[in-house]
Copies of this chain bind each other. A is one copy, B any other.
């Protein structure tokens, strides 16, 4: 595929987005904002957004800044002015859309989790490998990787600043389902969402743990639980919140997932994902302990990384509260002066920056669909473990399987 030439010699990257809810809004903000703060080798053009409801998708296009709106994603995929398809729909549609786009020669950015089943994810990864041979690239959107403090954590681990990784402690805590009267969302429907806390937020901490350590999980055991099995059918939704309507329906996914595993480098890891932790709004907590130090992160203070360097003298050693907003830091110097922190959405902008840079350079962006497939296998193993008395499930490395881009 060739990028289109823009006026003045800059090439452009025509983008079409499928879906325009929470993730669609975040992706749109990123496409709009990235060129304002970063020098991009290719200029994204927000060509078209697809959605089923004609009026709603038209309104979304106007609000979110897309030139055009269509009601059939196939039409979007087929358009000449679309070079990249950005998939922001629920997980049950990822495979079909992404594979069609790749086959049509479009790059793909697909929200996580890659798919609702390993089989779908395998098909997607296969399609991505085939497409890559033609220079068509696919990436999955584990966006939290692009939080500067997370990037810094990975960098410190890679530089050996904490030595050999021994333990990972990862939690993703939310509370939006704590109230039994919170209504049924599509996120509680196994058909749409694949799984509950496990796939929605557990997937993130699995990816982050592997990304920061540069290691993959080689086996897991886990326990899933659904605390509230029946909920009101929603009348309306906005973001994660909704208002209850009449009647109730079954929750068919997990409310919470606890699991542990072994890492390819010899360490061990514990995980928890829950939407029932009253008071924890979006607490992604990661701590990695190595033989020479530790790093720790909590998304509730997303501009901070805590770093313990065991090589500091015993009198003054202590977790360093690093405000990750210096020019020396990942994505630093492009936004505001030090201490003028970033928010949730900035990671999406960084994702665009990295993706556009990789595409322009002809590099495989990461996390690739293979990376996404590997996470899907981990999630699947946890579900199988839970279903069979929490016993151990091995996760053999696939041939040539990458881990962490």
Contact = CB atoms under 8 A, between A and B. Distances in A.
Interface string A153-165: 0001000011000
Given A343-B342, A345-B336, A227 B278 contact: no
Contact of A240 (B278, B337, B390): B337
A308 B323 contact: no
A164 to B, nearest CB: 9
A308 B336 contact: no
Interface string A252-269: 000010111010001010
Contacts of A314: 326-328
A321 B318 contact: yes
Contact of A309 (B308, B316, B342): B316
A96 interface: no
A116 interface: no
What is the size category of the interface that chain A forms with chain B? Answer: 35 or more
Interface string A13-55: 0000000001001101100110111000000000000000000
A289 B278 contact: yes
Nearest to A164: B227
A215 interface: no
A180 B238 contact: no
A225 B283 CA distance: 27
Given A26-B336, A238-B333, A240-B338, A321 B322 contact: no
Q: What copy number does this chain have within its complex?
A: 4
Interface in A209-230: 221, 223, 225, 227
A276 interface: yes
Interface stretch (A70-78, A82-90, A167-175): A167-175
Given A260-B390, A282-B338, A317-B320, 4 more contacts: A22-B337, A176-B337, A240-B337, A279-B318
- Counting from the closest, the 10 A-B pairs by CB-CB distance are A281-B339, A282-B339, A279-B308, A343-B343, A318-B320, A318-B322, A340-B344, A240-B337, A389-B392, A221-B390
29 contacts: A25-B37, A161-B316, A166-B227, A166-B256, A167-B277, A169-B272, A178-B291, A178-B310, A225-B268, A227-B266, A238-B327, A239-B336, A241-B338, A270-B272, A277-B289, A278-B293, A279-B294, A281-B325, A281-B338, A299-B339, A300-B341, A306-B318, A313-B328, A316-B320, A317-B320, A318-B323, A340-B345, A342-B343, A343-B345
